[in-house]
Structure 1
Amino acid sequence: MAVLVITGTGTEIGKTVATAAIAATARAAGRSVAVLKAAQTGLRPDETGDADEVRRLAGDVTAAELARYPEPLAPATAARRAGRAPVHPADIAEAAAKLATEHDLVLVEGAGGLLVRFDPAGGTLADAAGLLDAPVVIVAAAGLGTLNTTELTARELRGRGLAPLGVVIGSWPDAPDLAARCNLADLPDVAGAPLLGALPAGSGALPPDAFRAKAPHWVAPRLDGTWDGEAFRVREGPGRRG
């Protein structure tokens, strides 16, 4: 697994922090890691982007960004409004493939959900994953509404011949409600893929050293970690007390 594509089911669900946790875990396992942000929107050139945030949290990783647009919009729209060249799926695939010649693992982080458009032709992260023939991790929310968006994402991947590797919950609350607790069983069912981790809410605010020490406990062995999905489901599922 030289390249791993990481998509969200939407925005603001913890995709960047999940990417950092996967990167930190791979680094702890002795692997060299690069993170590629396909397109960064909503930031000035002097502001810290998602790839930089992954590097801050995960440590010694290569951070790369293909394009940056100032307005917080879908990349295709942001590029058009800024009068700048868009990023095409082939650009993403080419950059990831090059990084893979120099690193053990390349994490390609999308922008928002799987079908967010990068260029006027409708190119998406799914197209880039297809060009790379890379496995895809779906980062999903914990609570009500996540089953629909997760299943839609997984179905789209399968329709393109790209089976999802698994699902990571981007932010698991300290006091999960009934929907979140039930979703621990329902998410892998609707995705047709296992749960590969759950990041505690607020993980991204930890000091980097603490983040790196804890990250392997948040993701499953498939991602080089030690997280036990079944034990987590039993502990945090519908029968949880307190």
Structure 2
Amino acid sequence: MKKGFFITATDTGVGKTAVTAGLLAVLLQNGVQAVALKPVQSGAVRKNGRLLPPDAAFYCRAAGWPAEAAANLCCYCLEPPCSPHLAAALSGINLDRETLLAWCAEKVRASEFVLVEGAGGLAVPITDNYLMVDLARDLGYPLLVVCRPGLGTINHTLLTVAYARQHGLSLAGLVVNGLPGEAGPVEQDNLKILPRLTGLPLLGTLPRLAGLDVEKGHCAGLVHAVRQHLNWRALIG
């Protein structure tokens, strides 16, 4: 199997897309033939009669790829901004496990390093009986868990890690995203206690970037932040 990671998070809106896009760009800039995939995108944007996957579009923006390439990085692109299983039902689309896995296998064929971004957290349903954790297990890449720096992140992170282990997934480590410039005692303690309680390495702590906006395609220093604050060299082995 190719090297890579399945990038998940403790909740939606934590920063999976930013971490995926920034890491992709840094790998490409350092000569690694990498690809980032968003197998299932809900909350897609309709432009000129076409649905576009905003997360994949953000990868392209960070990587310097043409915007049209985004459509090739997403298998199922769904307009309703909700869980994939519901977005598919509302759109009259049948999400299929075998189609997802075959699509992923085809897309990674020409790459040496693969980043796969989930939708929401691991317990998000793709269908009524196939969850994001099942897709992660089927693909077989170790997890990068993106978590918030502030209040509540201990509980959310421990539950995510425990759930992943319960389902037999391998975990590479944690990435804390959105650390404020002046970290208070809560944030400072979280950075110490999360690795200790999970038994996982803290692979990076990305600062809060004021101009960062995935939907608008504003990278706002993201690539530089990932290069400086994420231990990407250790990740690629």
1:71 is matched with which residue: 76, 80, 91?
80
Distance 2:96 2:174 in 1: 26
Give the C-alpha shift of residue 182 in structure 1. 0.4
Q: Which residue of 1 aligns with 2:93?
A: 84
Return the offset for 1:95: 2.5
Tell me the secondary structure at the aligned position of residue 162 of structure 1. coil
Gapped regions of structure 1 (runs ≥ 5): 226-242
Moved more, 23-32 or 143-152: 23-32
Classify the secondary structure of the residue corresponding to 1:26.
helix
Alignment map for 1:205-224 (pairs within 5 Å):
210-220=221-231, 221-224=233-236
Are the equivalent residues in 1 in contact too, given 2:39–2:104 (CA < 8 A)? no
Q: Which amino acid aligns with 1:117?
A: P
Q: Residues 150 and 187 of structure 2 are in contact (CA less than 8 Å); yes or no, is this contact kept in structure 1?
A: yes
Matched, 1:110 2:118: yes
Equivalent residue number for residue 175 of structure 1: 182
**CA distance in structure 2 between the aligned counterparts of 1:59 and 1:218, rounded to whole angstroms:** 21
Are the equivalent residues in 2 in contact too, given 1:42–1:71 (CA < 8 A)? Answer: yes
- Written as runs of structure 1 = structure 2, the 5 A alignment for 1:1-242 is 2-46=3-47, 47=52, 49-60=54-65, 63=70, 64-88=73-97, 90-121=98-129, 123-202=130-209, 204=212, 210-220=221-231, 221-224=233-236
Could you state the TM-score of these two structures normalised by the residue count of structure 2? 0.85
Three-state SS of the structure 2 residue aligned to 1:37 is strand
The two structures, once aligned, show a CA RMSD in angstroms of 2.3
* Preserved contact between residue 62 and residue 219 of structure 2 (Cα < 8 Å): yes
C-alpha distance in structure 1 between counterparts of 2:102 and 2:162, whole Å: 26
CA positional deviation for 1:209: 8.8
User: Which has the higher mean CA deviation after the structures are superposed, 132-141 or 201-210?
Assistant: 201-210
Question: Matched residue pairs, number?
Answer: 223
SS in 1 for 2:32: coil
CA shift for structure 1 position 87: 4.6
Q: Deviations 1:29-67 (Å, cap 9, x if unpaired)?
A: 211121111211122332551011011013349640111
Q: Distance in 2 between matches of 1:155 and 1:4?
A: 18
State the shift of 1:131 in Å.
Answer: 1.4
Q: Distance in 2 between matches of 1:144 and 1:105?
A: 34
Secondary structure of residue in 1 paired with 2:5: strand
Q: 1: CA distance between counterparts of 2:234 and 2:101?
A: 23
1:233 — aligned with what? none
- Give structure 2 stretches of 5+ with no counterpart: none
Taking structure 1 as the reference length, what is the TM-score of the superposition?
0.83
Letter matched to residue 110 of structure 1: G
Q: SS state of the match for residue 196, structure 2?
A: helix
Partners of 1:59 and 1:191 lie apart in 2 by 36
- Point out 4+ residue stretches in structure 1 off by more than 6 angstroms: none
Task: Kindly indicate whether the alpha-carbon contact (under 8 Å) linking 1:76 and 1:118 is maintained by their aligned counterparts in 2.
Answer: yes
Cα deviation digits, residues 59-104 of structure 1 (max 9, x gap): 349640111222111000111112112253x433332222222111
> In 1, Cα distance between the equivalents of 2:146 and 2:95?
25
Contact 1:3 1:100 in 2 (8 A): no
